[in-house]
Chains A and B, each alone.
Chain A
């Protein structure tokens, strides 16, 4: 009797010891599944060389559900940025220095002239369904997706050099190389932003789960089964099932799609609450070897109206969120911190609110005026940016010109202040010098063709209408009438993409690592969209600028940067691009580096403060969401 009792006690003690030992390594919910035989043990789920992800403050605890909100099935960027995986990722230290580390590859290297890039996969790395990740998956992406003209009618320019698409060579099960016809030093920078393709996870680039996707690709799938699957999904061709609207290829809609990310979708949209659960095969660990992520589940609650979201925040129903929160509501959030048991944490937005005068506007007289630098300078210096910052941004932003933000390696102090000094007298003198001396009865200047000098500013940003009213008043002082038209997003986008507008108010974003995506400097979506189209289409579309037009210098600089022999040289050309941009003052930057407002529940840990919020750095992804945890 006594003997058996002792045996039981020993067994129990052993069980406890075993549990506390494994509890350090994996989440209790996974440990239970391992114990039940539903999952292989942790050692078999992790790669031999897992990615060690640094935590911001401390080693965390497992468990908890992260509650946030989303705006509808099309609002997938919020969830995407929490968890997307890249070939390599940007990380930022406390001094805001940006560096790159390997993501789902174990290592990467470039040869001396940046034409051949070698990548090694992690041995033992697995997809979320347990299948191994091998170079076959990369090969499948390259041969059957990237080069498949049904799926990609045009090769994305980012994967080309000297007009030639990249060439993939598989060395062995873990190693592959990418070769370009010409040097492409910025390739790795581009990969950090774009390597899962556009838009993010639902069209993953560089790697595809071959074992799953082959069932939906005509090259591998049984033709009848594929046709049946396509029809069941309501499509006509196999590409309907595959494309980003189809159900198969989108992680966000298809819970069966194998992923590499820390969480995978469990309840997909259009549910009112979209739930993501931890991926038991996630390849990241903390410094003590605990498998990440710490948080079990992420719940995205549907909301319709920004006010509904604000109410959720104030009532403490949001654990961590920045998306859809406006800087205008800073005071509201701040004053309700105690009531909602959260704190407001700010990052800096790598963008500047900017009015873009359209060099391609259909109105020839206006176009000629916008092409005159003196006019652009007058419009710039007529604006009292300090007042705008004070009234429209509660003094939280910074009066500045559009361009690289502080902390960016391409920051140009002279550009930051170009045209920002408020001087209405000089602005008036400049416009007089241009020859716009006649005025009408209301004090507005007359254009050379005798009409009143009126510009229509379009915008889709309702929250900034008050800002435009201030601009209107400032420009009225120099005899320029500004009419504001607040339109729906689709309408504005359409007008911008056809060049059918006079001015538009939008952000000048992507302003930290500009080499990852320099389109704002090249004229796209802004001051010279049709010129940009001409250049990017090789002269097939758009409008050709005059042969001595300075925008050609910007393009030349960028072309040089893309084909430079080394990264230093490439960055040097990118800096030249910024200088040309500065000298021409094409934009009317207003207020930038405004705070990105994160609302963070007090029990959420490891969330760093003061990082740069930029698309090129992947927004919240820069903070490594897998390392966030709840203090329980």
Chain B
């Protein structure tokens, strides 16, 4: 069996003939190394988001009066030539009386060893039970903290905030994208396949939806939504509404494509073989346009992440104290951060990694789904 999965082409006789399409796709996908690694990366990101409380060294809201704008600390292994395992040095804090700038130097007398499975800030794990176990932390006084990615203007640990931010961005943020694609593809393929009155009806609905002016809609919503509601829930609502408005583009493209291919031989062949419409669509027609769909999805994701804060002027988008990558990045979008605390741009790195990973994953999926590929 192991032989077969690693090199299906060497033994073409049975296994490949009887393998299910999904298995075939998986085999092809695995050959796309970049896509495979992207899959691992996305898996890792979601793992981190799921176990944020345990993996983040600190409570992301816990500020520290003495630690505003601490640059990322470096981890050392040797102290005065002697190996003592991973540790960081303490901080020596100074404020420039002229410019009010804070500067931090390593206090090389103070060794703060990194401890794994450390007891730190307590939290409710998944709302189930209370614990204070963290993957790592440092031993030291109450005021000593470790900032692997530096700290923000309130002395909060950026790494912890990045980890918690991923939770919102990778879940709520992507729900809208998911919804609009499901709606767009479903309605588009129905319109393209059935045609006639159904098509006309769907097209008119799409035109109507597109003609709704969005700003008055948001204004109305901003006035109607109770101010007590949790901003994350409000944002979820907004993304769903965005999805209800945003499906039309994709539906149009899918419809057009379906109209051109519905009379082609391979579709006819499938229909003549007795395949039900659903099977024709999902097995024969949709795969022929996966490349477009995947490109559109991967482009929509960064838009969604950066758009997280776009409606905040109406009180609808994500705003602090909510932590998301969009919010964190907004913190960094000014000259002050770039010149005084460039590490605040780290969430940008996380977004780039996420987007690239989704992109390559999509690429690999498309190649794997392409029945004509060798």
Contact = CB atoms under 8 A, between A and B. Distances in A.
B315 A491 contact: yes
Contacts of A310: 334-336
Given A391-B68, A488-B314, A470 B339 contact: no
Given A391-B65, A465-B319, A454 B228 contact: yes
A469 interface: yes
Contact of A391 (B153, B315, B336): B153
Contact of A466 (B65, B100, B154): B154
Interface stretch (A182-190, A330-338, A576-584, A617-625): A330-338
B273 to A, nearest CB: 59
A439 B319 CA distance: 28
B193 to A, nearest CB: 45
Interface string A303-323: 000110011001000000000
A395 interface: yes
B98 to A, nearest CB: 7
**Chain B interface residue bracket vs A:** 20 to 34
Contact of B100 (A336, A391, A396, A485): A396
A488 B312 CA distance: 8
Given A469-B320, A484-B320, A334 B65 contact: no
Nearest to A502: B227
A310 B155 CA distance: 24
Nearest to B336: A332
A387 B65 contact: yes
B276 interface: no
Nearest to B99: A334
B6 interface: no
A139 B179 CA distance: 69
A171 interface: no
Contacts of A11: none
A332 B61 contact: no
Given A466-B153, A484-B320, A334 B335 contact: no
B321 A329 contact: no
Contacts, number: 90
A486 B315 contact: yes
A287 interface: no
B14 interface: no
B63 interface: yes
Interface in B58-103: 61-63, 65, 68, 95, 98-102
A311 B313 CA distance: 23
A90 B313 CA distance: 38
Contacts of A311: 335
Contacts of B153: 391-392, 466
A472 interface: yes
Interface string A388-425: 00111011100000000000000000000000000000
Given A334-B98, A470-B63, A486 B334 contact: no
A168 interface: no
Contacts of A469: 61, 63, 154, 320-321
Given A391-B153, A391-B154, A473-B63, A307 B334 contact: yes
Contacts of A12: none
Interface string A497-520: 000000000000000000000000
B63 A328 contact: no
A109 interface: no
Interface string A199-229: 0000000000000000000000000000000
Dominant secondary structure at the B interface: loop
Interface residues of A, number: 37
Contacts of A332: 335-336, 339-340
Interface in B335-351: 335-336, 339-340
A524 to B, nearest CB: 22
Contacts of A491: 222, 314-315
Given A391-B65, A488-B313, A488-B314, A472 B227 contact: no
A456 interface: yes
B108 interface: no
B320 A394 contact: no
A487 interface: yes
Interface string A461-505: 000011001101100000000011111100100000000000000
Contacts of A483: 227-228
A488 B316 CA distance: 11
Nearest to B66: A390
Contacts of B314: 487-488, 491
A387 B155 CA distance: 11
A330 B100 contact: yes
B95 A487 contact: no
A339 to B, nearest CB: 11
A328 B336 contact: yes
A314 B333 CA distance: 16
Q: Which of B95, B98, B155, B321 has most chain A Cβ within 10 Å?
A: B321
Contacts of B99: 330-331, 334-335
Interface string A327-364: 01111101110000000000000000000000000000
Nearest to A329: B336
Contacts of A470: 63, 154
A336 B315 CA distance: 35
Contacts of A488: 313-315
B228 A456 contact: yes
Contact of B335 (A329, A465, A485): A329
Contacts of A328: 336
A482 B340 CA distance: 30
Nearest to B155: A391
A607 B101 CA distance: 25
A307 B340 contact: no
A30 B334 CA distance: 44
A390 B95 CA distance: 11
B100 A395 contact: yes
Nearest to B231: A485
Interface in B210-242: 222, 227-228
A491 B227 CA distance: 12
A328 B331 CA distance: 13
Contacts of B61: 469, 473
Interface string B167-201: 00000000000000000000000000000000000
A392 B155 CA distance: 11
B63 A485 contact: no
Contacts of A386: 65
Contacts of A306: 334
Nearest to B320: A465
A307 B335 contact: yes
A429 to B, nearest CB: 24
A466 B321 CA distance: 8
Contacts of B340: 331-332
Nearest to B312: A486
A516 B374 CA distance: 84
B191 to A, nearest CB: 39
Given A332-B336, A483-B228, 15 more contacts: A314-B335, A328-B336, A329-B336, A330-B99, A334-B99, A335-B101, A391-B154, A394-B102, A454-B228, A458-B227, A466-B154, A466-B320, A470-B63, A472-B321, A484-B319
20 contacts: A306-B334, A307-B334, A310-B334, A311-B335, A329-B336, A330-B99, A332-B336, A332-B340, A335-B339, A390-B68, A391-B63, A391-B68, A391-B154, A465-B320, A466-B154, A473-B61, A483-B227, A484-B321, A485-B315, A488-B315
Interface of B: 61-63, 65, 68, 95, 98-102, 153-155, 222, 227-228, 312-315, 319-321, 333-336, 339-340
Among all A-B residue pairs, the 3 with the closest Cβ atoms: A334-B99, A394-B100, A387-B65
